[in-house]
Amino acid sequence: MGIIGIEEIFLKVKDMETAIEFYHGMLGIPLDKQDGERTYLQSERGHIVLQMENHTGRHQGGGPLHFAMTVTEDGFDEILTKFAGSRYFTRGPYGERGVGRALFMMDPDGNETEVNTRYLYGAPRR
């Protein structure tokens, strides 16, 4: 189906400094960007977003967990077709072919799942 790998995972955290110490300090995942509510840790082929549990920003309605998978352009089209008119809630698609596209869908447990093509074109800009 064209799934290449995990692009991003959003993790709710209670204590940002403790989470940074674990993921950056202990595991060595490089810090990319921080603001008052989230920290982006960037690896070569994906990233983790540490997000305060009572945040006000992105993926507010994303369920207990948000994660994204990188897909090929053809895989994206196949998944888009499969979800069109299905019983699953979706939003998107966003973006354009050859630059980066994203489609968001809610899984049966309320987790927000995303497929996108951004990592096909280098690490996404935030």
What residue ranges do the domains of the chain occupy?
1-83
Mean predicted lDDT score pLDDT of the chain: 85
Contact assessment for residue 20 and residue 84, using Cβ atoms and an 8 Å cutoff: no
- For residue range 97-107, list pLDDT tens digits in order: 999 999 998 88
Domain spanning 1-83: CATH 3.10.180.10 = yes
Cα dihedral 33, 37, 41, 45 sign: negative
Rounded to whole angstroms, the Cα distance separating 124 from 118 reads 6
Q: pLDDT per residue over 27-37, tens digit each?
A: 789 999 998 88
pTM check: above 0.85: no
